[in-house]
Every structure is written in C-alpha cells, then in structure tokens.
C-alpha cells in the first residue's frame, strides 16, 4: 500500500477514514483556536473594546463553538437553536448577537427572553415589533442595532454579496436617520444603541472594509445630533480566505487595520464596543473532508473519479462553483502520474461535482482516499440529507488525539 501521506493535526487521514468511515469531516481544533487567537489579537491591538462574535452559521459543531467560547469568543446567531447553543457552550448572553433579515416573532421573542447583547434589526418595523414584544414579555432595556445598507457593492461571488442598495439586507441610512429622529424617542422598552453592517462574504478588499468603517462612524456622528447615542459598532463578518493558494487573502492584520484601525483613526468613540462577526476566516482551513473513490471511469474523453461524498455533504462547489483543492490522502499506487480527473459524487445532479480536470499527481483507483481541503466553513453547517443520505460525521483532532464530534441536530 503506497501513499497514506496526509495527516490532520498529526493524525493519519487514512487511519481516521478506516476507523470512522467516509465521507468524514476532520477538524483540527487546535487550528481553530490558533486562528481565533490571532484574529482577536489583531483586533485588540487596534481598539480596546472588541468582541469577536463567531458566526455560528459557518460552523455550528458544538465542540468547535465551545472551544471558541473558552477563548472568550462571543456568538453571532440567526436562529433560536443558535441562541440555545451559544448558551449551552457558555457564551454569556451579552456577548450574543442576533442577526437575520426576516426574523419571526418567535425568534425575536427567544432573543429577547435570552437577553442577547444585541438584536440587529433589518427594518424599522422590526424595531417597533421588538419594542411591542418586550412590553408583552415584560422585558425592558432591550438593546437593538440597525443593520444599515450603505449601498456598498462588495467584490465577491454575486451569491455572497449583501451590501448593494437593492439587496434585501439592512435599512437605508436615510431611513435610519429618520427613525432615530422621529420614532426612537417614543420606544418604551427597546433602545437603539447599535449600528451594524455586513456587505458580503469571502471579501478580500481592504477598501470595502475601510469604507464600511467610515460610513459607520459618520452615521453615528449624525445620529448623536438627533439624540441617539451609538455604543456598539458591528462590522459584520466577510473576511475572505485563500482557497486557491494564490496569496490573495487579506489576513487578520489587514482586516483589523481596515476596520478597527480606521475606526480609531477617524476618532471613533474609544468606549464603544466593536463587534466582528467573522466565521469563514476562523474555521475554513481547520478542516478537510475525506471521501473514498467508489469508481473510476471514462465518460467520452473525460476521466471521472466518482467518490462517496456528495453535494449534500459539501455543497459549496455545486452552489457557488467554489474552488477547493483536492489532494490524495491515501492511494494504493502513489507512483507519480500526470492523470487528471473530474471528481463527482453519488447524487443524481449534474452539479454534484467537487472539481474538474484535477491533476492529483497520482493515478486513482477504487478505494483510494481523497481530501477536499479548507472545508471548515459552510461545510458541515450546510450539509443536508438530500437524497435521503445521512449527515456526514465530524471527527475532532486535538493534541494528536481524535474523537467523534457531537452531531448538531435540530
Ligand atoms: N454576519 C452576517 C450578518 C452574515 O450574513 C454572515 C454570513 C457572517 C456574519 C459571517 O460571514 P463570514 O465571516 O463567514 O464570511 N454559504 C456561503 C457563505 C454565506 C455567508 C452568509 N453570511 C459560502 O459557503 O461561502
């Protein structure tokens, strides 16, 4: 048996696949913690009061969010289950941020009762609804932010851009000013104390984050004049990662400088809390998805490797045409080869493909093990049971040891 080279956190991928089966997500928890710590450090060096509220939607594996909570991470959640999970892993309620463009009354009630640190509203009606619900629930002092739509077009995949003025996200800045002038003083139980902006995901452009910071500071100045004091500035998430190895990622230092750094340089309130909802950049490179080759065959002139993971297990390539490196993890014949493959899954959908024309450096055979890299963000969290397939398992590796993760199920 040749190959068998890939290891995650010091543990052989082949061994893990044998023990736990495939498809299998393998997450290096130490790497998650390392990424979080360098992001938190970069932000803290620019502003005294920062909260990195990890975006649970990017990875909701309980052990992952728990390990982040232990390091002091807050939580950005968008569902009742998210509020519950953040509490269960020990995030204190004031460090929980509740987002979402279309929250139901039940979701708002859960956020209010959970006394989350901030509910970021995406319409003026939502703020009025929160105020009324607080009255019904007997809660006062509920902290509300406005997610503002500044009309910033983020350079990213169109499916990941959220900041343009016609997108469904946020409230136009003029409407925020009008509300704070006319309606905010009449709120009985809720108070507008936050501003929030998230212009998109997988963004690698400093200028966008700098512009966002500038807009937030400027709007807060304007709101102060109409009697609304802003104590929390939320820059959303969105920092891109380098999936292709082209070196195009911004990195935490560049990101921190563009956001918190710009905030400070513009004379933003030193006592304000700055919140960052990073998800992808914290977890993406912590995880690989292992998948076994079921069949190798020719389709016309195209060589295919058909694997046992499908788009239900990992949907990013099918949904966004996202590129993920695929490498051999354990192969029977590791003799160097220039063969290239289209790599597809078992689901009867033409887009159930993880990569096309991939040169893996080896000739593949039935039973070989491949690894799809950088699968830690929006991998397991977007997995589904489509085709009545089971959800993929996740194994956690830390300090050279491995164990099966709890499965997050609703
Ligand atoms: N905050 C808000 C309001 C968001 O909508 C998101 C992501 C984040 C924070 C976290 O963004 P991040 O730092 O992870 O980029 N499924 C897609 C990504 C969708 C992002 C949705 N919102 C993907 O697989 O690329």
Whole-number Å distance, alpha carbon 136 to ligand 1 midpoint, is 32
Q: Which domains does the chain have, with CATH numbers?
A: 7-27+285-406 (2.40.37.10), 29-283 (3.20.20.10)
CB distance 59 to 65 below 8 Å: yes
Q: What tokens appear for 253 in the block?
A: 């230092």
Whole-number Å distance, alpha carbon 242 to ligand 1 midpoint, is 16
Could you tell me if the CB of 149 is within 6 A of ligand 1? no
Average pLDDT over residues 178-197: 97
Whole-number Å distance, alpha carbon 376 to ligand 1 midpoint, is 13
> At how many degrees (to 10) do helices 124-137 and 105-113 cross?
60
Q: Which of 391, 319, 395 is nearest to 351 (CA)?
A: 319
Name the residue with the closest Cα to ligand 1, atom 20.
Answer: 201
Q: State which ligand 1 atom lies nearest to the alpha carbon of 278.
A: 13
Residues 88-105 pLDDT 10s = 999 999 999 999 999 999
Q: State which ligand 1 atom lies nearest to the alpha carbon of 316.
A: 24
Q: What share of the chain in percent tops pLDDT 90?
A: 91
Could you tell me if the CB of 147 is within 6 A of ligand 1? no
As a dihedral over the C-alpha atoms of residue 69, residue 72, residue 77, residue 81, rounded to 10 degrees, the angle is 30
Q: What tokens appear for 164 in the block?
A: 């343009």
CB distance 150 to 197 below 8 Å: yes
Whole-number Å distance, alpha carbon 263 to ligand 1 midpoint, is 22
Q: Is 403 helix (H, G, I), strand (E, B) or coil?
A: strand
Is residue 291's pLDDT more than 50? yes
Is 348 annotated as catalytic? Answer: yes
Would strands 353-359 and 7-8 be described as parallel, antiparallel, or unpaired?
A: unpaired
Average pLDDT over residues 29-49: 97
Is residue 63's pLDDT more than 80? yes
Q: What tokens appear for 406 in the block?
A: 């709890």
Name the residue with the closest Cα to ligand 1, atom 7.
Answer: 201
How far apart (Å, rounded) are the C-alpha atoms in residues 366 and 47?
A: 54
If residue 18 lies in a helix (H) or strand (E), which one and from where to where? helix 13-20
Beta bridge partners of 344: 306, 353
Residues 142-170 pLDDT 10s = 999 999 999 888 888 888 888 888 888 89
Q: State which ligand 1 atom lies nearest to the alpha carbon of 240.
A: 15
Active-site choice (50, 134, 180, 348): 348
Q: Which of 201, 205, 179 is nearest to 192 (CA)?
A: 179
How far apart (Å, rounded) are the C-alpha atoms in residues 368 and 295?
A: 10
Residue 409's pLDDT is 67
For the chain, give the mean pLDDT.
95
Q: What tokens appear for 324 in the block?
A: 């993920």
């Amino acid at each position: 048996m040749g190959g068998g080279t890939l290891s995650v956190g010091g543990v052989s991928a082949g061994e893990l696949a044998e023990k736990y089966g495939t498809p299998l997500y393998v997450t290096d928890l130490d790497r998650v913690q390392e990424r979080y710590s360098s992001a938190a450090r970069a932000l803290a060096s620019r502003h005294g009061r920062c909260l990195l509220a990890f975006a649970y939607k990017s990875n909701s594996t309980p052990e992952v969010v728990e390990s982040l909570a232990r390091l002091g991470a807050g939580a950005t959640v968008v569902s009742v289950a998210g509020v519950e999970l953040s509490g269960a892993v020990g995030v204190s309620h004031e460090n929980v941020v509740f987002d979402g463009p279309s929250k139901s009354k039940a979701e708002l009630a859960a956020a209010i009762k959970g006394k989350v640190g901030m509910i970021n509203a995406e319409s003026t009606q939502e703020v009025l609804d929160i105020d009324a619900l607080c009255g019904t629930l007997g809660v006062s002092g509920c902290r509300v932010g406005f997610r503002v739509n500044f009309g910033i077009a983020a350079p990213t995949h169109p499916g990941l851009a959220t900041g343009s003025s016609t997108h469904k996200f946020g409230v136009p800045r003029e409407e925020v000013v009008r509300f704070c002038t006319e309606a905010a003083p009449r709120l009985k139980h809720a108070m507008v104390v936050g501003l929030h902006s998230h212009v998109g995901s997988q963004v690698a452009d400093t200028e966008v984050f700098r512009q966002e910071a500038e807009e937030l500071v400027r709007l807060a100045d304007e709101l102060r004049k109409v009697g609304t004091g802003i104590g929390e500035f939320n820059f959303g998430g969105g920092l891109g990662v380098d999936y292709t190895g082209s070196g195009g990622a911004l990195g935490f230092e560049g990101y921190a400088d563009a956001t918190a750094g710009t905030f400070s340089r513009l004379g933003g309130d030193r006592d304000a809390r700055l919140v960052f909802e990073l998800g992808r950049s914290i977890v993406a490179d912590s995880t690989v998805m292992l998948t076994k080759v079921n069949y190798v065959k020719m389709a016309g002139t195209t060589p295919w490797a058909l694997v046992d993971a499908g788009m239900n297990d990992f949907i990013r390539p099918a949904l966004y045409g996202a590129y993920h490196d695929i490498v051999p993890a354990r192969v029977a014949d590791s003799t160097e080869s220039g063969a290239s493959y289209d790599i597809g899954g078992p689901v009867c959908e033409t887009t159930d493909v993880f990569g096309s024309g991939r040169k893996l450096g080896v000739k593949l055979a039935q039973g070989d093990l491949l690894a799809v890299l950088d699968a830690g963000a929006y991998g397991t969290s977007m997995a589904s049971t489509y085709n009545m397939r089971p959800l993929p398992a996740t194994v956690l590796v830390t300090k050279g040891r491995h164990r099966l993760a709890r499965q997050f199920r609703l």
